[in-house]
Structure 1
Amino acid sequence: MLLHSPRVHRASATIAAGALALGLALTGCASGSDGQGSSTASDTLVAFTGQAGDYQRNFNPYSPTNIGGLGTIFESLFFVTNVNSNDYVPLLATEYTWNEDGTQLDLTLREGVTWSDGEEFNADDVVFTFGMLLDNPSLNTGGFDGTATKVDDLHVRLDFPAPAFVSGPEILGRTFIVPEHLWKGIDPVTDVVADPVGTGPYVLTNFKPQAFTITANEDYWGGAPEVQNVRYLSLSGNTAGADALAAGKIDWQTGPVPDIQNVAKNYPGYDSITIGVNQMALLTCSSAELGCTGPQTEPAVRQAIYYALDRSQINSLAFENTASDMSPTFALLPSQEDLISDGIQERTVPEAPEPDRVDELLTSAGYEKGEDGIYAKDGESLSLTIEVVTGWTDYITAIDTMGQQLKSAGIEVTAAQSSWNEWTDKKSKGNFELAIDSLGQGAASDPYYLYNNYFSTANTAPVGEAAPINVARFSDPAVDEALSVLKKTNPDDVEARQEQFDIIQAAIVEDMPYIPVLTGGTTSEFHADKFTGWPTADDLYAFPAIWASPDNAQIFKALKPTGE
């Protein structure tokens, strides 16, 4: 038997709007303030996640338009992060045990946990949650294919048809347990959760479209956190965030500020940390077979854009040189570089543009450069639109810079700014040509999770339907099969896993549905004088981005107000 009894280290997808017509605690209206920011209360942390525009009240943890509550209100069985390889931190479960061949996972649940409405938490809720995923494939982005059985109130057994070791981080750390007594009467795919009931350290207490507040759960099994309130603000964008930081009106944000290398000097009382985890890309609606339209459906066009970019200039002008190198395989550098296939000739993205390569790709695909310097085919100019969220100044600057570079290479692009909600809806339903965003690492620091999220046919959908996460509409039977094999392979079998990584990487580099840009240096600025306990390079116990859930919840629990 493989027994894991984790030690506890430091204290620690587009859904139709419409409230539930149920007489449950899931719906209703909470009173709130006027939404104006203030960072005066010593036990209140004011957060800005980059939200530009009104919040749409949706705390359904399985909705792509969820605005919060993952980790803070709804908990998983363990806390699992992708920025370290520490033992998993027990939450709703205290132990997990795999059998020798990875087909059975036994869970011991925490005793004495209650839902925020006073009802008891037990194995029925865990079994119900996993059953809900099986009944609703669009929610099952982790690909759970087992069966959950209640042994008794504090023990659950998960059985799988094949070895499922690799599913561990998703099952244990990314499956947010919901209350059966409330959720058995709702449609988890289409219903929003206005007033969430969870087991977590916080409860929702105020909501208005401009701001909402979560407050310490006095009945939390781990004890109420010392940060009494977390207030999330909606501002007009990154510039407003930087201004609010300078005025001392927010305590934590993740985003660009002027002279980002000298936050402690320029913002007295604040500090910063930069972590390179999320890989920036131009997302494309790539599959004509699934209904995508536009020149970006041609692999040659996607490859041409890839070779037309001057990444050094983009890094300097848009990201203040906080971004870093990237592999076109999306294996994270440098931690996963040993997993890059030997068959990949270019292991890292080109820093400088390669115009001859661009011309070769496009002319071979039937394009000719017109008198205006722009390539065209069948009378149509090679012109594309890149979707971006209003107020995301770094990405907007990146698009402006790319636009000039691509025009010089014979490709015309324009930016289309919209609210986060509209941008998310366009991506999810495939109503876009290009969009700028980052691909996250998934449940753990292993390329399997990124590949399974963004390149699996199971995680996409035809245009017009909501894709859970693979918004590029990439679908390749060979990649699907490789992912299936990886799921059954013991993580210790390095050679067998590499054979499958080779297949996946060859396919995605050739097809390039997500056009690699750079690894984003995710910089967060935080009020170090007001709260202690922030992650550091030496103690990276969670990913320190305010929008990263459930890592942010783990940080809220670790912070201690100084009283200043």
Structure 2
Amino acid sequence: MFLKAKRPSRARTAAAGLAAVAMLATACGGSDQASDTNKDTLIVYTGQSGDWQINFNPFSPTTLEGPGTIFEPLFFFNNIRDVEPRPRLGRSFTWNTDGTKLDVVLRDDATWTDGEKFTAEDVVFTLDMVKKNAAMNGTGYKGTATAVDDTTVTITFDEPSFMEGPQVLGRIWMVPAHKWKDLATPATDVVKEPVGTGPFQLEDFKAQAFTLKANPSYYDGEPALKKVRYLALSGNQSGEAALRQGQIDWQTGPVPDIADVEKNYPGYKAITVPMNQTALFTCSNAALGCQGPQTDVAVRKAIYYAINRTQVNQLAFENTSSEISPGAALLERDEDVVSAKLQERSAPMQPDEARATALLEAAGYAKGADGVYAKDGKPLAMTLKVVAGWTDYITAVDTMTQQLQKVGIRVTAQQVSWNEWSDARGRGEFELLIDALNQGPAPDPYYNASYFFSTATTAKVGEVANPNFARFSNPAVDAALTSLKGVDPKDAAARQPYFDTIQTEIEKAIPYIPVLTGGTTSEFNAKKFTGWPTEDDLYSFPAVWARPEHSEIFLKLKPAGR
């Protein structure tokens, strides 16, 4: 059974949203004409509010697009279902018995969109580049890659590294050595003219929209989906209005009366999967330069207990979200490995205001005449960043700020552009922000932990962390993650003690304050295109902003009637 909706956005005004849709209808020639002239074009809305700023560097935290569509991984791993990975640029891979050597056989028929041939040298170059640049190394890759010949790469590790397989093979985007070798700072350089091996390539770019077109030289054949057009609107409200008028074909995010999508939006269907975990991200680690009261674990725990999650779910998410574990494993997908040693298997859905205030007072906070707690003369006040246009998150933030006020915590919401929010998140220049913990390449909680809770994927404030944005660092968690790499993933009994350590340590520190498990809902045009994922055939996580998962869906889609 799947839950529902997610991906934020704030509508500046209803008039602004309708104006954006009117402009879109004019550009497309109206609904009827659009469906005719754009019958091979998938029009998508990712939640982007405001103009696009060009950047197709797949390793940049501000990349617009590219992973999976333009730049490919070696294999595609389904992170919802435990199934065999699907070959992309790789054909097959094998481990040695102790997990220290990974041999990969590559395709011999892939070319870059500039006509150059894809070879093992490109793979070695990409892996070496990622290893040398911490800001690009979101998987914590530490291997050594060697080209045996044009179609074979051997990757060796200093320690058993079975768990590195899906990350290295499924979450590192291959780039052309002949193009990227001249980039001065590949982690941050803006790529305006991307050259990849993927099924799509950039056709045109404007601040309000950009278009990918099918790659006619793609090794698996030119996709049936000929174009994907990405729109920038003013937020979820304008996205919903565009959906209602049939001007967009796929969006991932909330719409009113989500239960009746097929009735309210004729020709459209919806699918919902509980996957990404909504949380209040905190810059938590004072040792790495974080500043503010949220660096105190007592404050983070007080916030955790003060949240009325039932109310947040009702007001912000139409009851489409579900309970969340403070240990960060998914309660549904990872049920068998959720630790029995957690103090609480799931975060409380109702607030415990007495416990929240007791935690603060035990930590030396005293309530002032204004009802706000203070310590050492400093009020317990923080700013919470949210992207302008993300209406469900904005509603959630507004709801939580009122809830926190009841326990003497003053939180001020700050709506900023996505680019400003993303930059602040990466550099640790925030106190609180709302976002979601996404999952890794395979259906295993190891990956979420290795991304967001590993010392290897964080950095000092001012430097870009990728993606341990909370600056969490815990030797016991690091050791458990290292140990898991050397355990056969099929040996559940041997793995569980390490999961127990990871989850209980996360629960103690809660650097990302759990809110709810977001039910990720997409609405899509089933009349115009066939091949969409269903609950019976979840061949890929169905979110338009999920990379490379969206590219698998693009490859499956066909214009209706073909």
**Alignment equivalent of 2:135, drawn from 135, 138, 144:** 138
Partner of 2:69: 72
Structure 1 CA distance, aligned partners of 2:561 and 2:502? Answer: 52
Structure 2, unmatched stretches of 5+, are 1-22, 29-33
* 1:242-261 equivalent positions in 2, closer than 5 A: 242-261=240-259
Q: Distance in 2 between matches of 1:154 and 1:386?
A: 49
CA distance in structure 2 between the partners assigned to 1:555 and 1:263 by the alignment: 20
C-alpha separation in 1, matches of 2:25 and 2:57: 22
| Residue of structure 1 equivalent to 2:119 | 122
Residues 543, 550 of structure 2: 8 Å contact kept: yes
User: Partner of 2:44 in structure 1?
Assistant: 47
DSSP-derived class of the 1:165 partner: coil
- What corresponds to 2:82 in structure 1? 85
Query: Does residue 459 of the first structure (1) align with residue 457 of the second (2)?
Result: yes
Residue in 2 aligned with 1:559?
A: 557
Residue in 2 that maps onto 1:440 = 438
- The reply to whether residue 185 of structure 1 matches residue 193 of structure 2 is no
Q: 1:36 to 1:350 in 2, by over 3 A?
A: farther
Partner residue of 2:198? 200
Residues 542, 555 of structure 1: 8 Å contact kept = yes
Give the partner amino acid of 1:62: F
What's the TM-score once normalised by structure 2's chain length? 0.93
Deviation for aligned residue 1:493: 2.6
CA positional deviation for 1:42: 0.4
Q: Which residue in the other structure is 1:347 paired with?
A: 345
SS at match of 2:163: helix
Please name the residue that 2:314 is paired with.
316
User: Is the CA contact 2:44–2:251 (under 8 Å) kept in the aligned structure 1?
Assistant: yes
- Count of aligned pairs between the two proteins: 532
- Whole-Å separation in 1 of the counterparts to 2:235 and 2:125: 39
SS at 2:44 equivalent: strand
- TM-score after normalising by structure 1: 0.92
Deviations 1:220-252 (A, max 9, x none): 001111111000000111111001101111000
Aligned match of 1:148 in 130, 145, 150?
Answer: 145
Cα 1:104–1:416 shift into 2, 3 Å: same
Q: Return the match for 1:160 from 149, 157, 162.
A: 157
Distance 2:65 2:45 in 1: 12
* 2:25–2:247 Cα contact (<8 Å) kept: no
What is residue 270 of structure 1 aligned with on the other side? 268
8 Å Cα contact 1:35/1:208 also seen in 2: no
Deviations 1:84-123 (A, max 9, x none): 1111111111111111111111111112111100111111
Q: Name the CA shift for 1:86/1:142 in 2 (closer, same or farther; >3 Å).
A: same
**Root-mean-square deviation (CA), in Å?**
1.5
C-alpha displacement at 1:35, in angstroms? 11
Does structure 1 conserve the Cα–Cα contact (< 8 Å) formed by 2:270 and 2:521?
yes
Displacement of 1:36: 7.4
- Mapped to 1, the partners of 2:206 and 2:41 lie a distance apart of 17
- Comparing 183-192 and 429-438, the one that deviates more: 183-192
In the alignment, is residue 279 of structure 1 matched against residue 265 of structure 2? no
Question: CA offsets per residue over residues 110-167 of structure 1, 9 Å max, x none?
Answer: 1211110011111111111111122222212212222111111111111111211111
Secondary structure of the structure 1 residue equivalent to 2:303: helix
* Structure 1 residue 209 displacement after superposition: 1.1
CA distance in 1, matches of 2:177, 2:497: 41
Contact 1:37 1:233 in 2 (8 A): no
Q: Quick one: distance in 2 between partners of 1:48 and 1:130?
A: 32
AA aligned to 1:71 is G
In 2, the alpha carbon distance for the partners of 1:526 and 1:341 equals: 37
Matching residue of 2:335 = 337
Q: Paired residue for 2:57?
A: 60
Q: Distance between the aligned counterparts of 1:460 and 1:149, measured in 2?
A: 27
Q: Secondary structure at the match of 2:354?
A: helix
Q: Would you say the 8 A contact 1:545–1:552 is kept in 2?
A: yes
Looking at structure 1, the residues matched to 240 and 392 of structure 2 have their Cα atoms a distance apart, in angstroms, of 12
1:132 partner SS: helix
Structure 2 counterparts to residues 192-231 of structure 1, below 5 A? 192-231=190-229
Q: Cα–Cα, structure 1 residues 360 and 36, in superposed 2: closer, same or farther, change >3 Å?
A: farther
Structure 1 letter corresponding to 2:305: Y
2:394 counterpart of 1:420: no
Contact 1:46 1:233 in 2 (8 A): yes
Kindly provide the amino acid, as one letter, of the partner of residue 515 in structure 1.
Answer: I
Q: 1:509 deviation in Å?
A: 0.8
* Cα distance, 1:332–1:414 mapped onto 2, change above 3 Å: same
Q: Using the alignment, how far apart are the partners of 1:233 and 1:92 within structure 2? A: 29
Structure 1, residues 161-198: CA drift from partner, whole Å, max 9, x if none?
12111111111111111111111111311211111000
Give the match for residue 7 of structure 1: none
Report the CA distance between 1:277 and its aligned residue: 0.3
- Please give the per-residue CA displacement for 1:383-403, whole angstroms capped at 9, x wherever unaligned: 111100001000000011111
1:323·1:519 contact (CA, 8 Å) conserved in 2? Answer: yes
Residues 35, 212 of structure 1: 8 Å contact kept? no
Q: Deviations over 1:376-429 (max 9, x none)?
A: 222222111110000100000001111111111221111100110000011111
- Change in 2 beyond 3 A, CA 1:37/1:143: farther
Aligned-residue offset at 1:34: 9.5
Alpha-carbon separation, structure 1, partners of 2:124 and 2:416: 40
The answer to whether the 8 Å contact 1:35/1:233 transfers is no
The aligned amino acid for 1:299 is V
Would you say the 8 A contact 2:98–2:486 is kept in 1? Answer: no
Structure 1: which 5+ runs fail to align?
1-32
Tell me how far 1:335 sits from its aligned partner. 2.0
In structure 2, how many angstroms separate the alpha carbons of the residues matched to 1:561 and 1:342? 48
What does the per-residue CA deviation read over 1:413-456, in whole Å, with 9 as the maximum and x for residues that have no partner? 11100110000011111111100010011121111101110011
| Percent identity over paired residues | 58
1:94 counterpart = 2:91: yes
Contact in 1 for aligned 2:283/2:470 (Cα 8 Å): yes
* Contact 1:43–1:563 under 8 Å retained in 2: no
CA displacement 1:187-220 (0-9 Å, x = unmatched): 3112111110000111101001111000001110
Measure, in 1, the Cα distance between the counterparts of 2:283 and 2:49: 24
Aligned equivalents of 1:150 and 1:511: distance in 2?
A: 43
Pick the aligned partner of 1:470 from 463, 468, 471.
Answer: 468
